[in-house]
Amino acid sequence: MEPILSPRLLAAAKLVRQGAVLSDVGTDHALLPAYLLKEGRIKSAIASDIVKGPLQRAEETVKKYGLKSKVTTLLTPGLQGVEEYAPTDIVIAGMGGQTIAEIVGDAPFVKNSGIRLILQPMTKGELLREFLSGAGFVIEKECRIREEHRIYTLICAHYEGTPYDLSPLELLFGRVKKEERDELYFSLLEKKKEQLLQVTEAKRKNGVDAEQENALLALIEKELSEK
């Protein structure tokens, strides 16, 4: 029997390269490394977590699928102690964008163009993109996936060393080429538009200026008009 992944984790799995040494940070149940090993997609994995309970769950999964020789489990914050295993692909999924940015920022060894980062923020994607662009990580691609009532974004990046700017829309929704603008991309725009309309209305009632929100709304509406 093979581990079954949610659509969100399956989308992350697809971005891991064939033959990778995978680091799965905040692994919890370690289903992602177990799935990729069972599929013959990766060479080995480091499954780490900052909390004992999740790491124990990870160890149970490793045992259940007979993967002890291929998976190192580590109780550690972020990427601390992971460098010595020489990961080629690093997944950090299911955490806030700020936490993910801090984990990447605290690990200088990931500043290596051969290492692929696969990041799936639950919140604050804009903070994560701001960090990546400012620190010289190129965002290779992004994809979106719907699971139940939520849309998740996955960011695939690597280090090149030249910082660059992203526009306000790119910070919020990613640098998405015209041909890549799918239904989920437009759903995210619609959702943000609704939020901004609520904020601007509340500000208007309180006599507070909403210049920033209105400027962003105009950009979103222009983007939506090209649907």
Residues that bind ligand SAM (CB under 6 A): 9, 25-28, 49-51, 54, 77-78, 93-95, 99, 103
Give burial (CB, 10 Å; 0-12/13-18/19+) of 126: middle
Give me 9's structure tokens.
Answer: 């984790």
Q: How far is the CB of 145 from ligand SAM (least distance, A)?
A: 12
Per-residue DSSP letter, 1: -
**Is 28 or 89 the residue whose CB approaches ligand SAM more closely?**
28
Q: How far is the CB of 36 from ligand SAM (least distance, A)?
A: 13
**Is 29 or 175 the residue whose CB approaches ligand SAM more closely?**
29
**Is 91 or 220 the residue whose CB approaches ligand SAM more closely?**
91
**Is 29 or 192 the residue whose CB approaches ligand SAM more closely?**
29
**Is 157 or 216 the residue whose CB approaches ligand SAM more closely?**
157
Decide if 102 contacts 122 (C-beta within 8 A). no
Please tell me whether residue 119 adopts helix, strand or coil conformation: strand
Decide if 62 contacts 34 (C-beta within 8 A). yes
Q: Which residues of 173-183 are buried (b: 16+ CB within 10 A; e: fewer)?
A: bbbbeeeeeee
Q: How far is the CB of 95 from ligand SAM (least distance, A)?
A: 5
Q: Which of 152, 129, 149 is nearest to 15 (CA)?
A: 152
Q: How far is the CB of 54 from ligand SAM (least distance, A)?
A: 3
Q: 116 pairs with which residues across the strands?
A: 89
**Is 147 or 221 the residue whose CB approaches ligand SAM more closely?**
147
Task: Please tell me the distance from the alpha carbon of residue 218 to that of residue 223, in angstroms, as a whole number.
Answer: 9
Which region holds residue 155: left if phi is over 0, alpha if psi is between -120 and 50, else beta? beta
